[in-house]
Structure 1
Amino acid sequence: MRIEAVPTPSGAGVTIQNRLTGPEGGSDKLMVMLPGNNYSCDAPALFYLRQAAVAAGWDVLSTAYAFQQTGGEVDGPAILADVRAAVERVLPNGYREICIAAKSLGSAVALPLARTLSEYPVSLLILTPVPQFLQEPVGDLRTLVVIGTEDPVYQMPECAAARERADAEWVVVPDLDHGFNVKGDWERSVASLPQVIAPCLRFLAGS
């Protein structure tokens, strides 16, 4: 496994320490990982998704957000600009397809980012989406959404409406909350990780 630093200057005046992880021989497939507000790319589900994706032959660009360094407000357009700048730094590697893997807050950026990459085959892997993502159809983008039954978003009308649209594949995992945890039970939380990661791997294999 190779790990490369991808420092990216932000419009917020800081340098974001993104990183690229991948198989030693390189890859022509790129996963862009967009974390949550309080769920970094090193939190359990994203950490193991990255490990699994690399083992399956993908490069993974793990991103972060400027507001997490500056303490500023969440700014969707600024996040999109910073993430796109990080992607631009690695695109010269010659990727033939891209998967955007987004957790929570990251899901609000996933579709706008995909639209800036229209020259590539792009798919969306959405973990615990926020309502902003659910409100807009994904069109012809191949999409998998993974959510738990104890996630408050799962109970929202926007979630029911998005599932009824049937423009994405859905995996609903019993008892998991927005952090992919079983409340008060760390052992079941750890044991549930394969229920999150395995569908993601099947999705990647079908790309």
Structure 2
Amino acid sequence: MYSYSSILTSSDPKLSIPNSFLRQDADTDHLALILPGLNYTCDMPLLYYASQVMLEAGADVVQIKYDYTQTQPSSKDSPLSDRFGSLAEDVTQIARVALMQRDYKHLTVIGKSLGTLAIPHFLQADLSLQPQTCVYLTPILNELVPIHDLIQTCPRNLFVIGTSDRYFDPELINQLISPNADNFMIIDEVNHSLEYPQDTFRSLEVLEKVIRGIQNILME
């Protein structure tokens, strides 16, 4: 079982970055950080079940609940690199505080879309623990390819993207990592939500495949 609370990232609660802290009742040395997308929250299927599989694996889970579309109205028109600067600062602040909750030995980071841009930042940030497992759900490839050397410093990576995703680009995938690699899951015809539009049951099959992929990489 686990308890549900939040972590204060600032002495002023009004300045604290919204989050949910799912803390195992039993002792654990594994922490998972869940980084949503702009319009894809931690309550949506991919990240909800990613959180559940991490809890089942015995990890504490921190779900970050930023919403730049509401708190920063101009962000939609800003370059992704501008949003990434704020994103990196916010999630690093949460990570620092989260890592103080227990004596963790393992850190898993799961990002969706915009959230994937923060993962490489963890790999070079001065944190007390570096990620050992990084999961990129629908990554923004054009932003990640220039830093592919940094990305590969994470011992275990999993990339998941659909061929109907607006960010899908075979050439960029080849630059990031071999598309035939075991840790790159390319799913035909699914969109940026990793769904088949108007096909619920096929979308559920994709959801199961992705969550099993996350479970499998945890067991490596």
TM > 0.5: yes
User: Counterparts of 2:197 and 2:181 in 1: how far apart (Å)?
Assistant: 30
CA displacement 1:65-124 (0-9 Å, x = unmatched): 252441332621221111111112221211111111111101111101222156535221
1:141 to 132, 140, 154: 154
Q: Which has the higher strand share?
A: 1
5 Å-filtered alignment, 1:1-207, equals 1-9=2-10, 14-65=15-66, 67-72=68-73, 73=75, 75-92=83-100, 93-117=102-126, 119-122=128-131, 123-130=133-140, 131-137=142-148, 138-142=151-155, 143-164=157-178, 169-206=183-220
Distance in 1, matches of 2:190 and 2:63, equals 24
Give me the whole-angstrom Cα distance separating, in 2, the residues matched to 1:125 and 1:84.
Answer: 17
Aligned partner of residue 126 in structure 1, secondary structure: strand
Q: Percent identity?
A: 24
Distance 1:88 1:23, change over 3 A: same
Shift of 1:153: 2.1
Structure 1 residues 89 and 168, CA gap change in structure 2 (3 angstroms): farther
Secondary structure at 2:161 match in 1: strand
Output the CA distance in 2 between the equivalents of 1:97 and 1:20: 17
Q: Deviations over 1:166-199 (max 9, x none)?
A: 8882112233211011022122212321111001
| Unmatched runs of 5 consecutive residues or more in structure 1 | none
Q: Conserved in 1, the CA contact under 8 Å of 2:88 and 2:121?
A: yes
Please tell me the residue identity of whatever aligns with 2:187. Answer: V
Point out the more displaced range, 131-140 or 163-172.
Answer: 163-172
Is the 2:123–2:153 Cα contact (8 Å) retained in structure 1?
no
Question: Taking structure 2 as the reference length, what is the TM-score of the superposition?
Answer: 0.82
Structure 2 residues not aligned, in runs of 5+: 76-81
> CA offset at residue 136 of structure 1?
1.9
- Give the partner amino acid of 1:5: S
**Any conservation in 2 of the 1:33–1:100 contact (CA below 8 Å)?**
yes
